[in-house]
Amino acid sequence: MKKHFLTVFMDASKGVFLVKLALIFLVLGEARDAIAQSTDAVDASLPSVSTQSDPTPSPAGVEPLGGDSYILGTGDYLRVDVFNIPDYSGEFRVLSDGHLNMPIVGAINIEGLSLQQATAQLERFLEPYVQRPVVTLSLLEARPIQIAVSGEVNRPGSYRISTDEAANGAATDIPTLTQAIELAGGITQLADIRQIEVQRRLPRTPLADGRNKENKSQVVAVNLWELLKAGDLSEDLQLQDGDRIIIPTATSLNADEIAELATASFSPDEISVNVVGEVESPGNIRVPPNTPMNQAILAAGGFNNRARQGTVSLVRLNLNGTVSQRDIEVDFSQGINEETNPSLRPNDTVVVKRSGLARANDTFGAVFSPLNFIFRLFGI
């Protein structure tokens, strides 16, 4: 009897357990349906935004400008696309206070931010007005940048550089390091292009309340020899507003390096040399880099009839600050070589001396010049 009662009790307990389990699944199913329905419901007061695909591709043939390295500032012209909501989209220019004035949202501070940071900033400000906003931010026209170039360039100082634009109005190119060096007159023969420094401000850190932390600075090391030797375009750094470029002085360069450096795109197109003494047009002349000595003599009009045509002197300022002078035998049949027809460097001086006959004539002239005066005085 007791055993039968226990069996009945256990069967009843199992039945109750199964009923409870069924009720739990039923409640969970209804809750899931309710959540799905509430998710599908759309607040009529807020526009809805889909997060599907990328809204607007970049124009064909135009590489997007900016990127995470570009820091936004006053004067930048931007395109803001809020996906599926044209009322919030448009083209805007960053105002003098660093703000972007957007419809309904109002002023948003994006100065000192990268494009990626500014995109996140815009999405955060749009959240009270747009569900799940998807923003695409494009830089159409970069503002002119102000940079400083110092050290071994021909015209150190401050420069303002504008960006290039494509035919459709989209910005396509940001000034680079080599372009800035060209603008500053090119490098000097004393430049150490292996250890160029670019001092740059980092993007600001946006805070939750819309303010920004002050940006710090960094030093970017650049080796332009890698650009010349290996074609490494990453060394031709894209410049930003406020960059300071420092080109140090080289401690040593061999003749081959100097010759190669003289033909670089960021070296001057012409150098200044002096040809003095017994030539037809003595003085300072401008010639292409690596011009041979013989060509410089011919550019000065060639030897006159008083010149010692067999030998000239070359005076050169060395990298260590010393001045060297050596006599070189002239042979116009020789090509460029260091012994008889060296390539000239900036500020080299070629001295063409008098021939022995010219010196003798000058000596006799100095001796007999007083006698000529006496003879003329007495009518002799």
Of all helices (H) and strands (E), which one includes residue 77? strand 77-82
Tens digits of per-residue pLDDT, 299-345? 999 999 989 999 999 999 887 778 999 999 999 998 888 899 999 98
Amino acid at 91: E
Phi/psi at 99 (5° precision):
-100, 155
Domain with residue 210: its CATH number is 3.10.560.10
Q: Which residues contact 255 (CB under 8 A, 6 or more apart)?
A: 338
Same domain, 168 and 240: yes
Same domain, 180 and 130: no
Instruction: Check pLDDT > 60 for residue 177.
Output: yes
Same domain, 133 and 171: no
Boundary residue ending a domain (262, 291, 318) = 262
Total domains in the chain come to: 3
Boundary residue ending a domain (238, 262, 286) = 262
Q: Is residue 177, in this structure, part of any structural domain at all?
A: yes
Determine the Cα–Cα distance for residues 200 and 214; give it in Å rounded to an integer. 14
Instruction: Check pLDDT > 60 for residue 238.
Output: yes
Determine the Cα–Cα distance for residues 370 and 373; give it in Å rounded to an integer. 5
Q: Is residue 58, in this structure, part of any structural domain at all?
A: no
DSSP E strands in 116-270: the ranges are 135-141, 145-151, 157-161, 164-165, 171-173, 196-201, 205-206, 212-213, 217-222, 244-247
Domain with residue 115: its CATH number is 3.30.1950.10
Q: Per-residue pLDDT averaged across 363-376, rounded?
A: 59
How far apart, in Å, are the Cα atoms of 30 and each of 38, 42, 296?
12, 20, 96
Q: Which pLDDT value is given to residue 187?
A: 93
Q: Decide which of 229 and 7 is more confident.
A: 229
C-alpha of 55 from chain center: 31
Segment of 56-70, 185-199, 348-362 carrying the highest mean pLDDT? 185-199
Region for residue 244 given its phi and psi (left: phi exceeds 0; alpha: psi -120 to 50; beta: otherwise): beta
Confidence of residue 68 (pLDDT cuts 50, 70, 90): low
Range of the domain at 183: 145-262
Q: Is residue 46, in this structure, part of any structural domain at all?
A: no
Same domain, 168 and 127: no
Q: Per-residue pLDDT averaged across 136-151, rounded?
A: 91
Least confident range from 222-226, 333-337, 371-375: namely 371-375
Q: Is residue 44, in this structure, part of any structural domain at all?
A: no
Region for residue 304 given its phi and psi (left: phi exceeds 0; alpha: psi -120 to 50; beta: otherwise): beta
Same domain, 290 and 337: yes
How far apart, in Å, are the Cα atoms of 328 and each of 316, 350, 353?
13, 10, 12
Q: Is residue 69, in this structure, part of any structural domain at all?
A: no
Q: Is residue 45, in this structure, part of any structural domain at all?
A: no
Q: Is residue 288, in this structure, part of any structural domain at all?
A: yes
Instruction: Check pLDDT > 70 for residue 61.
Output: no
Instruction: Check pLDDT > 60 for residue 56.
Output: no
Tens digits of per-residue pLDDT, 255-309? 788 888 888 999 998 999 999 999 999 999 999 988 999 999 999 999 999 899 9
Tens digits of per-residue pLDDT, 81-127? 999 888 889 999 999 899 999 888 889 999 989 899 999 999 999 99
Q: Which pLDDT value is given to residue 105?
A: 85
Of all helices (H) and strands (E), which one includes residue 273? strand 271-277
